[in-house]
Amino acid sequence: MFYREAGQFRTSYAQDSQIFPLRQDRLGMTIILLIAVLIPFGANAYWLSAILIPWLILSLVALGQNILMGYAGQLSLGSAGFMAVGAFACYNFILRVPDIPFVVAVVLSGICAAMVGIVFGLPSLRIRGLYLAVATLASQFFIVWSLDKFGWFKNYDPAGVITAQKIIILGHEFVSPREKYWVVLAIVVVLALLAKNMARGSVGRGWMAVRDMDVAAEVMGLSLLRTKLQAFAISSFYCGVGGALYAFAYLQTVEPSAFTIDLSFRILFMVIIGGLGTIMGSFMGAGFILLMPIFLNILFHSIFGKSVDASVISAVEQVVFGVMIIMFLIFEPLGLARLWQLTKERLRLWPFKH
């Protein structure tokens, strides 16, 4: 009853090709966006800077990883490396190019990450699956190592960390968590809509053809070279922008070793738990992985009081993450997004079951 498309007719091409053809979806999206824009007025600084901002940023990175893994079917374990490229590129653009607008710097750092992504995507033309996963680990280790070893990237900081500059857009300084949140939100919304459009257009169909059977796709006249590298480039672009925001709107001070393989795994988990090959799943997965440790922490403290060791909690967290991954792969390989889809189908028939 709540989710019925009956009676909604599409009478023009414009209507037929809109992003959200259902009235309920459009309404839902508007409400979500309104809440997202207005939430800083209700949330305190902790919520904004420790949960909402990283959630949006990690969603963006998960989206990038999802484009590569979920849509184009290329297994990658190096997303944190591309985030690092984005973060350090943005720092250097603002440092070295006088009066560069912040948004331009972010986009340029995304492009830097995309170029690095293309280089490390080259092996995908010859290898696939497990082999490719190991090849992407090379990018992870190499990028972090070179950012660490070549002082130029860090402006020869003796401590080996960079401090992100102020976010200045059109002469206005974005200092408070609330303002930063809006900047991040704007960028994420634009890029998410862009991803949605790419995924449902010819670009996305190309990716999915490669994912499902790349030899067949090639026989049908799709250029594997172009499609695969495009997926790597766009995915790394998202990771790069995510990395830049991670440094500028979330962490402030960053060192290369913040972008470990562990972060890459977490991003991978976000994609699996959220749902491979869905835009919404990236957001759900990021939220889930981010909130899980916080939830466990609260749970432990409420059960055992303050006496629990931090290392015990982190170990439990690890076990829970691992178990969740295995359970999702076994019972719901399509992730949280699939659960939402099932809910929608229920709502269509509600209150009747059939």
Partner 1 sequence: MANFSFFIEVLVGGLLSGIMYSLVALGFVLIYKASGVFNFAQGAMVLFAVLSFVGIMELGLPFWAALPVAIGLMVLVGMATERFVLRPLVSQSEDTLLMATIGLTFVIEGAAQLAWGVDVRNLDLGIRDEPIIWVMDKTGMLISQLDIMAGIVATIMVVSLALLFSRTKVGRGLRAVADDHTAALSIGIPLKHIWMLVWATAGVVALVAGMLWGARSGVQFALVWVALKALPVLIIGGFTSVPGVIVAGLLVGASEKLVEVYFGPMFGGGVEVWFPYVMAVLFLLIRPEGLFGEKIIRRV
Q: How far is CA 21 from the centre of its chain?
A: 25
330 contributes a contact to partner 1 by CB under 8 A: yes
310 contributes a contact to partner 1 by CB under 8 A: no
Nearest distance from C-beta of residue 145 to partner 1, angstroms: 5
* Angle at CA of residue 190, ends 53 and 179, nearest 5°: 40
300 contributes a contact to partner 1 by CB under 8 A: no
The secondary structure element, H or E, covering residue 177 is helix 177-200
325 contributes a contact to partner 1 by CB under 8 A: yes
159 contributes a contact to partner 1 by CB under 8 A: no
Looking at beta carbons only, is 225 or 349 nearer to partner 1? 225
Give the 3-state secondary structure of residue 107: helix
Q: What is the dihedral of CA 229, 232, 236, 239, to 10 degrees?
A: 160
Instruction: By CB under 8 A, name the one of 201, 322, 343, 345 that touches partner 1.
Output: 322
Distance CA 231, CA 220 (A): 19
Instruction: By CB under 8 A, name the one of 45, 97, 299, 326 that touches partner 1.
Output: 326
List, as one string, the DSSP characters of 112-152. HHHHHHHHHHGGGGT--HHHHHHHHHHHHHHHHHHHHH-GG
**What x/- string results for residues 73 through 112 when contact with partner 1 is judged by CB under 8 A?**
--x-------------------------------------
131 contributes a contact to partner 1 by CB under 8 A: yes
Q: Choose the binding region for partner 1 from 106-114, 119-127, 152-160, 249-257 (rule: CB under 8 A).
A: 119-127
Whole-Å CA distances, 239 to 82, 113, 117, 223, 342: 6, 7, 10, 24, 30
Instruction: By CB under 8 A, name the one of 29, 35, 315, 342 that touches partner 1.
Output: 315
Nearest distance from C-beta of residue 62 to partner 1, angstroms: 15
Nearest distance from C-beta of residue 169 to partner 1, angstroms: 37
317 contributes a contact to partner 1 by CB under 8 A: yes
311 contributes a contact to partner 1 by CB under 8 A: yes
Instruction: By CB under 8 A, name the one of 190, 216, 225, 342 that touches partner 1.
Output: 216
Distance CA 76, CA 89 (A): 21
213 contributes a contact to partner 1 by CB under 8 A: yes
324 contributes a contact to partner 1 by CB under 8 A: yes
Tell me 253's DSSP state.
E
List, as one string, the DSSP characters of 212-252. H-HHHHHHTT--HHHHHHHHHHHHHHHHHHHHHHIIIIIIS
Distance CA 280, CA 275 (A): 8
323 contributes a contact to partner 1 by CB under 8 A: yes
Q: Give the binding site for partner 1 (CB under 8 A).
A: 75, 122-123, 126-127, 129-131, 133-135, 137-138, 141-142, 145, 148-150, 213, 215-216, 219, 261, 265, 268-269, 272, 311-312, 314-326, 329-330, 333
